[in-house]
Structure 1
Amino acid sequence: MVLAADGFFESCRTGKALQNKHFNKEKTVMKRTIALVLTLLLIAALGVFASSADTVELLPKESEWEFLTYEGEANALPEEEEPELWLSNGEYTDLSGQAPFAAPSWAKPITNTKFDYQYYAAYLRTTFTVENVELLNKLTMFVIYDENPTVYINGEEVWYAEGYKDDKYYEIDLTDALSVLKNGENTVCVSVSNVFGGGIFDMSLSANAGAVVPEPPIDEDGNFVIQEVTTAGFTNFGAINAPDNVLDGDQNTVTGSGFNASVEQSVTLKFKEAGTIESVFVQCKDEGTTTNEDGTRGTYHLYALNGDEQVDLGALKAVTGTDGGATLTLDTPVAADGLKIVIESWEGNCWACVADVTVKASDVTPPPVVDTGDNTLFFVVLGVVALAGTALIAVKAKKEF
């Protein structure tokens, strides 16, 4: 009986030992699996972090430029033509200075170099370096100017503006100019003039490198994304729907023309993709006075564009002010790939203009808002957690073996 009991207990101990061994083996496998998962998570986090879009500064503000100026007169450009070898990257001047450049009378503090002449045509040139142009997916310029600047990159004209924007640096999308960039040294040439008032110029260039988030055809508010704006009969003082326009209380950014204008001036908007128009909102600039009793500046006439077709949507009053504007809501949505706004009439001593336009799309679900901000902190924390977890499991596994 004693021997039988001893055998029974020995058998139990052996079975328990085998069970514990099997259990410990399962624990080890589980820990190794968790460690592998955490390691893969770390690799994925680092991969996403490495592929996220980075901003590359190509040409900073207040850079050094070569320059040459020709003296002019008030309201008249100098007779001299652009200097030889300026665009071809040859030696054309021995003068250089740090931007911003300005006329002698410029009183604002953002000036490093003043030209010798009050009225002038100036020709500037500098260079920047690109390490790998294939990685760049967006090119942005910030510019302050007075007046009429033309920007060339590697001899190709990439941007021109009439008039002046001298109160701050304005953001300009130059992504279409990525095709003229090259690896190594790139040359920027700028012609800018001053024939009235003060004069100033400076610019910067930066690019995005990494993943591209395509712009949807409809924004988060359900409005068509406007891809192109053209005007007829207008003097352009700024871009329609610019960030600093009437809706935001800044009256400087508009498209306008002479006082009391009313003859076939128009603005044409092309959408990123075709769709159906539900309503149109238009606002004009708050400047000058009107003779209309209701306070409106005049009348717009709206047309939906669809290929070669043009559909009359009707008239809309020109209303101004930070809380102003007028909306035309359609009884039946109209298919369109663009919109044309014509100045039908204008009254009083005020600019004929179109400052803000939003076109609501019908039966379209707004796309989700994509956060393309800097996620550096998130990925750093994720990486630290993954590394710490992997190290802890490795230490415990080593002790048990």
Structure 2
Amino acid sequence: MSFRDNLQYLRAQRNFTQERLAMLLGVSRQAISKWESGKAYPEMDKLLMICDLFGCTLDDLVLGDVRAPRSVPDATPEPADGTGAAGLPEAEREICNGGLASEATSSDTAAKQSVAYGLSPNVSAGRQAVSVALPEDLTGYDAHMNSFAWKVAAGIAAIIAGVAVGVLFDSEGTVSGLLARSEFLTFVCTIIGVIIGLAFLIPAGMTHSEFVRRHPFIEDFYTDDDRSRRAKELAVGVVGGIGLILLGVAVTVYGEETLGIEEGWPVSVMLLCVAAGVFCFIYFGIRYGMMNIDSYNHEAESERREREREAQGGDFYDKLTGLVCGIIMLIATVVGLWMLFTGGPIDGGGHERWLSGNGLFWLAWPIGGILCGVATCIIQIFRSFHDRDR
């Protein structure tokens, strides 16, 4: 048997879809499809991962026949009195061997459960029922995205909070006059807030990019209850964030109308409330959006293709875009210079001079930029159709 036949057989034996196998190996579903169709071949590290996953040798996987029966010694010896697993009824013996629970002992039940979870039933005559497990978070996606949501929300909130603290030193309305006005301290507080914010945002972005690179496909393991709970959390977060912002506005209005303070601590309190409100929006928004696994898989696949294009020095469409835009801007430059040196003023003076060739020469470059944008959009549309057909 060839490698692709062995891989198809092993995947069918374990009732793995191409998506689930891709997730376990850290590749895209398209990669599994190419392997099984013989259009591509995995690298050595992926071959070793397949061997570990299915419990076969590299020789059998690449050159041999994984269907060849091999004797596997039992982990637990049979007692002499015949009370071991071999002496149990079929259902209990299956449980001892790590099989399915008693409610799934029939092949029909296993087939129905397999179809319900998008798996191939693969039930043949005389074959025992196979276990079908609910999709699990095998990659740590949920924990990663929760950490990502918290860091992004905290980073943006820290930047706004830094500005809020800096406002205390940038106006006459400081707290009871205890804080002296200082533009330098305002600048320092703002910079500190930006530094703290970037300390959250940059590592979060780098970690997320690495996670997407290592896991280009995630199997949807969220349940309807999970989505319902996250939707409620999002609603609470949005309402709470709006409430905090309105509270900050109320403090500002109170300081201006009642205390006669238009700047200073009321504005600082408002910005702190805005920071807290923005934190709620971003944190609960990302936590709710991360349950759209299809969107994640689509973006991860797009990034993977983009990395492949960059590794190959770009594709035809990138080169075509650069060539077309270069030609357009070259023509725009020639037209602009021609208008500048050959266009004479029309009759009249004042603002009418701007209607001459000398006055309108600069329009060549904005028009060229607009045409470049239009050409880029058209080329990207053709590339999207091409990628969809691949």
TM-score bracket, shorter-length normalisation:
under 0.3
Q: Which has the higher contact order (CA 8 A, sep 6+)?
A: 1
> If each structure's strand is expressed as a fraction of its own residues, which one has the higher value?
1
Q: TM-score, normalised by structure 2?
A: 0.18
Q: TM-score, normalised by structure 1?
A: 0.18
> If each structure's helix is expressed as a fraction of its own residues, which one has the higher value?
2
